[in-house]
Each structure stands twice: as structure tokens, then as C-alpha cells.
Structure 1
């Protein structure tokens, strides 16, 4: 029996529901869709939340970044837990936690209650995202079958980000912003109950009694502290330089400690040998930059439409509909093309379109017309994002074995979520650096205030465009040409 046959046999569940690929894929994609949806669904509701809960604009950032901060910080740990204790079990745990924390967020009465519950949502989402993606790679053979499944996952994860802003606008102007969170409660609880009927349990073929808890704690703490410290660089008053410099110093110490722990651990959280795969290395770097572009777009475009162009929340939501539709089109085309050609050229086209779209928003005037200024930029962004999410996912898993599917899923999801939170923190730091100066120059004159806000948002869009352009260069230089194949890779000794 070959090594791969042994791995598949030892990893197979003893009992479970009959394998129905279509149903399994739909269920897992729906679970992933829900977690990605909550990255962006609050964006359109932010001005309303700001007014009702009396949150300052600089604190408002944490409503978005706390979710991504905790989600990104716990993804690797949750991936290893899923491999060790059962992927379906961790998926169910995440769905229940996500539902309950969404309920608390919906009834939140102040900024910190909302932010804390968003953190709990992020923890639940970490269990969901890695477990669902790991189960997907285990249930579909590498090659055309897995590439199509990953294409569907990538398409829906990308689509969720833009559907989120549309749905957020409808709910905010409809039953109210709290329903942005309440909508998750029945979906999460029903999903947890249905999971055993849809998908069999799965664990890693390599079971160990030891677990790298020290590595998990040090890396998770470093990621969370890094994103929090970046958030501290945006302040309504004097910058807390001591807290900022101290935070970065502690991040560096935690990362050094993590590397030392991993090199000495018998069963490390991240076996550094996995980074020998060029496609995985490049895909994770690209994912960081791509999600930095994506989250920057939704956060600042939502504010631009409402605070500069005076759109309502619902109108803002509907303004994203073409972007959502074209994201689906771009992802659909990419998921078909990527099974026939290498992921690299598909990704380069997508990133080029996304860069162009962000640069168009960078030049949008203070009295921008939706048809001539916003819609063309959204069209390019939709096609570009849709065409980018799919090949990034495919590249991240190219050549991976079943035993490391949880780790690979944790890495790519960590890159995406940390990228989104880091990207927004960097864009906000750069964009808000001139708020005090521009506000003073405006002297309260409405036209000058609007121009000042536009200048701030222009700076943010430019940062998002730079992220996409750098991702294009990384793809061109570092991502290898990997074509779909129906045969699993032969393990190298």
C-alpha cells in the first residue's frame, strides 16, 4: 500500500453519513460564507452605530478590526485543534460560539460590549473557517476535483465580502443595525445541528499525545498584540507613543520566542518545512495584501458614500450590488479557467483590475457621480477581486497532503484575516494622520469639510491600490506556475 493510500485509509472516519459531494460542498461553503460575511457586513452600519452608541470614529475601527484580529490570531491554533480533536467537532463548536456571540453583539448597549462580542465572534469564526476549509480539502482529491471545490470556496468567500456590505445596508435601514448580528443566530445553531447529518468526522492521520500549546499561545498573542498596537497609532488626541513602542517591542519578543519554541518542539504548531512549497509561501503573502485591499475598500468606500456623497445606509448597500454581481462573475470565470491553466496568470489579471479600481476611487471627486465615477471603479474591483480569490486558494493548497490540510487552511485563513486587519490599520493610520490639520483648515464650512473628508478617504484608497499593486508584483516574481493535475503529488523525503 502506498504512503498516500495509507494516509487516506487511516484518516477515514469509521462511520458517518453517506458521502454526497455536492451537499458537503454546499454546507462547508455556507459555513465559510457566514464568517467572511461578518468581515464586511458591519461596514455600512458603522455611521449608524457611531451615532447610536456614541463611538468616536477612531474607536469605530475596532468594531471591524477586533473581529479580524481575534479570527486571524486564533486560526493556526484552531487548525491544529481541528486536526487533532476532530474537524467536524471544531466546526460545530465554532458555529455555536459564533451564534451566541452574535446574539450578544446584537443586544450590545455600548462600544466595549459590542467590541468584546465581536472578538468572541472572531474566535468562533476561527474554528469555523479552518475546520470547514480543512474538511473541504480532505473530502476532495487534489487536482481538478479539489480545484473546483476550492474555486467555489474562493468564489463564495470573495462574494461574501461584497454581499456583506449590501445586506448590511438593507438591514440597517430596515429592521435596524442590530439585525446585522441577529441574522447569524439561527444560521449558526441550525448548522451545528445539521453537521453530523451532512459530513463525517475527520482527524489527522498522525495522532500525537503532545500539543504545542506554548507555540500556539506565543504566536496568537503576537498577532493579536500587533494588530491592536497598529490600531493605537490612530488617536483622537496625542499618540500614546509609550504604549505603541512598547507594544511593538513585545510583539518582536513574542515572535522570537515563537521561533525558538517551534525549533525545539517535538510536534511544532507550524513545521517550518511546510514553507518549502513556493506556491504556499507566495499565496500567503498575496492573501495578506489582497485582503488588505479588500477590507480597506469596504471600510472607506462605505464612509465615503455616506459621509461625503450623503447616501443612506440602504442606498450605500445597493451601490455595492454591481460589485457583488461582478465578483461572482469574476470568481465563476476564474474557477473554470484555473482548472485548465496555471493559477498565476489568472491571479495577475485579477490583481491588475483591482489595482485599477482602487486608483479610480483615489481620483473620485468630492461631488462624484455614481454612474461615471463610482460604478466603473466598483466594476473593476468586482471582477478583480472575484478573479483573485480563487487562484490564491488553489495556490495555497497545491501539493498539500491530507495530514497538513488543517495547517494549510489555518495559514491561508490567517493570512487573509491578519491581512485585512493589518491593511485597515495601516490605511487608517495613513489616512487619519491629517484629520486634525484638515479639520482646522475647513473652519466648519460644509464644502471645505466635505473636501477634507474626501482627501482623507483618497489617502486610504491610494494605500489600498498600493497593496494590490504590490500583490501583483509578488505574483509575477514569486508565484510558480502550477497547473491542475488529477494525481496527488508524490511525497518527498
Structure 2
């Protein structure tokens, strides 16, 4: 599962540094080039809920294998693209594969490690590989683009998909479908997929139409209406719902997903702003820029190891609050960058602080979002979590990117650009304060895993969640 998540996370960032070469080779326009990123975001974010339900219904291992196959084939096709449309279609195919395999993989991890020290270790390893994949994707993308050609930012996923498929085939036990009975909720699936896809579509087009434009407001209004209709259908349908109402009333699930929304928004923005600052302000080459992202990857691993060490003695809620505050300090540190800075003075320190904070909270938030969830809902809970991060990344990048652009103005000078990037990172620091408040107020105070094992096998928070689930089911 760690290899699977590393591959998906890497694919979110590996293409970024290859975009200039892709535009030059395939003849993309400035606006058309953004769809190399958006095609993946639209399909991945829009189909996640449906992917989770498919995994619950047809077996997590089986769906994971299918998703890996789709992802690998789409990656191979993208490397052979000869026209802009070919590459955009391949990126959309990668998004479809990721939307199917990501919730299935996380559901398998949740079912395999339901509680205790093994769960803490498993989610710690998973979180380290998740965030390290994003950071190393920048390094790998820069090196491949400069020395091997842009095609290899697509080809690199093919052997990883093949290795992951072999590991899953041999190392993961087959599981039976958890929702084998009942008619599928086709209408709910269509409404959720259309609503989430339109929401992502409206957000990513803010680079062309402003947030206050009629096009953006109309698109987002229709998206909200579709999602509202989806909630109504889920509450009233006689079929097997895509997401059960009991899941949406679970405080752990809701709190973790709100927290995860901010995580996705700020992490995507950090990669974006730091990459542009290094290349456009400091004049760093793509390969060196990728190399300078290594401290970010190492810091995430360090933070994840610390979370594993503390996770058996410290409640997940405490780790999430601490991680949010540490990451917020790192973002505030990033807010001090200027045009006369350097990597050592302006990037290295905040990269280490922010990445350690990322590592501290990533495992606990994933574990919290799936803790106490009924077996037949693990796929749905996993897809919700993946979806909240993807939607957060898209929304955060659009919002903070727009704010940074407005702050820097049209000058385009190194001073103006660095001021805009610094402003965007400062806003990210404020969002992490909000995340800490969410963790403190929404999530229940629960005993540590060690206390639960010694004298309280049913912690208060988990017992209450089960009671809520039983009441809703009844």
C-alpha cells in the first residue's frame, strides 16, 4: 500500500517541472498547458466517491488491481503522446485509475490494521511515503525533464505501477465485497460525480475567469445544487447509498476531512510557491530545484517517524494540533522570503519546519478519518478523505495563487513575485491555525492507544461513534 500511495502522490507533482518542455514539444498554448494538470485533478477529484463505493461493492483487492492496470496503461500512453489532446486524455486516464485505486488501497490498509500499535506504524509508513512521493516527484521530474526528456515524467509511473501490481497480487489477501447486496445508487453516483467534477472545474478555471465572474459563480452554484441534490438522495433513497448519512454524522470523519481539506490546500500551494520562487526569482534550474526539495521529503519522513514513536502514547488529536502549529510556523517562516534571498537563508529552514509538521499530522488524520468506521463503509470513508485533500489542493492553489497574483500585481519583477509568494505562504500559515482550532474543537478527546489497551478497550470517542452509527443504522 505504501508503494501504491507513493506512486499516486508522485504523479501529482512529477509533471510540474516538465510543463515548459511539454509546451514546447507538443505545441500547447499557455491556457491549454494548464489542462495537463487539470485533467488529472478533474477525474481524480470527481470520481473518488464513486471509486470508493465500487471498491466496497466488488472487493478492494480486485478493484485495486484494476485501478493499477488503468493507471499504468494511461501513463504509458501519455509518454507516447504526439499531440496536446493525446496527453490530456492520458492524464485524465491516470485520474480515473487513481480515483479507483486510492480508496481501495486505503480501505485495505484500514482493514488490515484496525487498531493499536500496528495501526499507528502502518499509517506512519503510509503517510511518510505519501508526502515523500509528492516532494520527490519534484526532484524526479526536474532530473528527468533536464536529462531524459519530458516523456519520462509519464513513463516513470509505468514500472512503479507494475511493481505495485505484483506486490498487491502476491502480498495482499483477497477480500470479499462488503456491500454485496442491494441495488446500486446510480442516481447518487451521477449527482456526486457531476457535482464534484463541476466544482473542481469551476475552481481550476479561475485562472481564466475571476472568482466574481458570472461564469465562475454560475458554475459553482450549479455544482453546489448538484451536491445538495446528492445529499437529499442519500438521505431518502431505497437503494444502497453511495455515502450513508451515519458516516457524515461521525464527528471523527467530519473533523478529519475538514482538517484534511486545509492540509491539501496548503501542501499543494507550498510546492507551487516554492518551486516558482526558486526558478523565477532565484533563477535555479529544474534539476537543482528538484534537488532542493529533498529537505522537504526528508522532513516529512522525520515527522512521520516521530508520529509513530509518539502515537502509542499520545492521542491522535494532540498530534494533529501539534502538527498544525508546527506547520503554521514553517509557513510563517516562508512568508519572510524576498528577492535578495537564497536557498540556504530563505528556503531550507522553513522547508524542514513545515515538512516535519506535515509528517506529524498526516498519519493521525488518516487514521482518525477511518477509526470506528463500519467495515462496509471503509471504502466510502477512504474516498471521502482522498476527495477532501484533492478538492482542498485545487481550491487552495486557486485561492492562494490568485491572492498572490493580486498582491504582486502585473509588474512581474523578482521583487513583486517574491512579495506575492510570501503573501500566499502567510495566508497558508493562517489556514494552519484554523486547522489546529478544528482539531481542538471538533474531534473528541480520546484516551491513547496504550491506555485503551491497558484498561479501556473501548475509548470514549470510539464508543460514542459506534453508538451514533448504531442509532443511525436502526
Aligned to 2:221: 249
Work out the number of aligned pairs and report it.
456
- In structure 2, do the counterparts of structure 1 residues 275 and 147 end up closer, same or farther at CA, with 3 Å as the change threshold? farther
The match for 2:113 among 140, 144, 151 is: 140
Poorly superposed stretches of 4+, deviation over 6 Å? 237-240
Flag structure 2 segments of 5+ consecutive residues without an equivalent: none
Structure 1 residues 368, 183: CA separation in 2 closer, same or farther (over 3 Å shift)? same
Q: Displacement, 1:68?
A: 2.8
Identify the residue that residue 6 of structure 1 maps to in structure 2: none
1:247 deviates by 0.7
- Aligned position for 2:124: 151
Provide the C-alpha distance between the structure 1 equivalents of 2:416 and 2:58, rounded to a whole number of angstroms: 53
Deviation at 1:51? 4.5
- TM-superposed deviation, 1:245: 2.5
Please name the residue that 1:174 is paired with.
Answer: 147
What residue in structure 2 maps to residue 71 of structure 1?
Answer: 44
Residue in structure 2 matching 1:463, options 420, 427, 451: 427
1:350 aligns with 2:314: no
Cα distance, 1:218–1:392 mapped onto 2, change above 3 Å: same
Q: CA offsets, 1:364-384, max 9 Å, x none? A: 011211111111111111111
Match of 1:474 among 438, 448, 471: 438
Task: Please give the secondary structure, in 2, of the residue aligned with 1:407.
Answer: helix
Partner in structure 2 of residue 320 of structure 1: 293
Rounded to whole Å, the distance in 1 between the matches of 2:396 and 2:29 is: 20
User: What is the CA–CA distance in structure 1 between the aligned matches of 2:420 and 2:30, rounded to whole Å?
Assistant: 13
SS at match of 1:233: helix
Asked whether the equivalents of residues 407 and 419 of structure 2 are also in contact (C-alpha less than 8 Å), the reply is: no
Q: Residues 338 and 61 of structure 1: is their aligned pair in 2 closer, same or farther, counting only changes over 3 Å? A: farther
Q: Deviation at 1:282?
A: 0.6
Moved more, 202-211 or 225-234: 202-211
Alignment deviations for residues 214-251 of structure 1 (CA, whole Å, 9 cap, x no partner): 1111111111111211222212x888934222212211
SS in 1 for 2:184: coil
Structure 1 gap segments, 5+ residues each: 1-27, 443-448
- Equivalent in 386, 409, 429 of residue 413 of structure 1: 386
Find the aligned partners of 1:258 and 1:238 in 2 and give their Cα distance: 27
In 1, the alpha carbon distance for the partners of 2:275 and 2:266 equals: 14
1:390 pairs with 2:363: yes
- Is 2:86 the partner of 1:113? yes
User: What CA distance in whole angstroms lies between the structure 1 residues aligned with 2:86 and 2:419?
Assistant: 32
Q: Residue deviations 1:402-438, cap 9 Å, x none?
A: 2221111111111111111221122222223467x42
Pairwise CA distance, 1:50: 4.4
CA deviation after TM superposition for structure 1 residue 468, in Å: 2.0
What do the CA deviations read for 1:180-238 (whole angstroms, capped 9, x no partner)? 11011122134334533221221344421311121111111111111211222212x88
TM-score by length of 1: 0.87
- Equivalent residues in 2 for 1:236-275, closer than 5 Å: 241-266=213-238, 267-275=240-248
Partner SS for 2:410: helix
**Cα drift, residue 64 of structure 1:** 2.9
Secondary structure in 1 aligned to 2:207? coil
Q: Normalization by structure 2: what TM-score?
A: 0.90
Distance 1:55 1:300 in 2: 23
Deviations 1:35-56 (A, max 9, x none): 1111122233334434444556
Instruction: Please state how far the C-alpha of 1:263 moved relative to its aligned partner.
Output: 1.4
Q: Deviations over 1:5-32 (max 9, x none)?
A: xxxxxxxxxxxxxxxxxxxxxxx11112
SS at match of 1:44: helix
Counterpart residue number, 1:186:
159
Structure 1 distance, partners of 2:210, 2:170, is 55
Q: 1:41/1:260 Cα in 2 relative to 1: closer, same or farther (>3 Å)?
A: same
